A = this chain, B = another copy of it.
């Protein structure tokens, strides 16, 4: 009997016809309301990764979260907007009961052995094994990740922190159970950071990510070397204003390679 990893189960899609896929959202990655945005992003990316028309590897993914994905059937529609010699551009829609829940765009690209350099360096942090797993939180998707904060573990409080906390955090992240790293897993890991607003205020107000962009920078060799080892997530936010704030993140391999980088904008109620 083959055991299917929860991430693969949750992002699984059946081809109905070219560019139309059927999937289903379960409780496995449930969030406070609806399904964790990370697996929604991963499901959308999976529709392109699984497409026989695809050329090259994922380069960029933007997901716009329009409404909660809820437990039940979903449809992903993909449109190959334009294909060139080096890149393909895809537009996607995820619907439930004919209502748009998310839109996305994906760029795939042919990657060659050309000039390469990494100018950024990972922060110097304690090893995954030397860090403490977070306590159990009452949202299901968090149980699907082994999270170990190096810095900036959130402290929730009944009244707002004074002084305000820092939006910076560094945290080890690993699929639970372990899973070999690929672009689909990275797409979900990219959303594993709490809204920076919670870190600085300590209190929880209604919030939702409205748009998230991830750029994929890992080589096949990086992914092979990484295998099922944890990735280091580094996240920060810059400005919180008028019901929206930005946050930007990096995912690093254990050996210090930048695997993905991204940004998101988060709505908050008050």
Residues of A with Cβ closer than 8 Å to B? 59-60, 62, 64, 66-67, 81-82, 84, 86-87, 89, 91, 93, 99-100, 103, 105, 107, 109-120, 164, 166-167, 197, 200-201, 205, 210-211, 213, 215, 217, 219, 236-246, 248, 250, 257-258, 261-263, 265, 267-270
Contact = CB atoms under 8 A, between A and B. Distances in A.
Contacts of A100: 81-82, 89
A57 to B, nearest CB: 8
B59 A210 contact: yes
Contacts of A99: 82
A250 to B, nearest CB: 7
Given A115-B268, A238-B250, 19 more contacts: A60-B210, A62-B213, A82-B100, A91-B103, A103-B105, A105-B211, A109-B244, A112-B243, A113-B242, A115-B197, A115-B201, A116-B240, A116-B242, A120-B239, A217-B245, A248-B261, A248-B263, A261-B263, A263-B263
Given A258-B238, A263-B215, A111 B248 contact: no
Contacts of A241: 111, 116-118, 217, 219
A211 B103 contact: no
Contact of A167 (B103, B119, B167, B268): B119
Q: Give the one of A103, A164, A269 with max B CB within 10 A.
A: A103
A111 B244 contact: yes
Q: Which of A64, A91, A217, A239 counts the most B-chain CB atoms under 10 A from its CB? A: A239
29 contacts: A62-B211, A64-B105, A66-B81, A66-B89, A67-B84, A81-B93, A81-B100, A82-B100, A87-B267, A107-B210, A109-B243, A109-B267, A111-B241, A114-B268, A116-B241, A117-B240, A118-B239, A118-B241, A119-B166, A119-B237, A119-B238, A119-B239, A215-B246, A215-B265, A217-B238, A217-B241, A217-B245, A217-B246, A261-B263
A246 B119 CA distance: 11
Question: What does DSSP make chain A's interface, helix, strand, loop or mixed?
Answer: strand
Given A210-B87, A261-B248, A107 B215 contact: no
B265 A263 contact: no
A268 to B, nearest CB: 7
A244 B118 CA distance: 12
Contacts of A84: 66-67
A91 B91 contact: yes
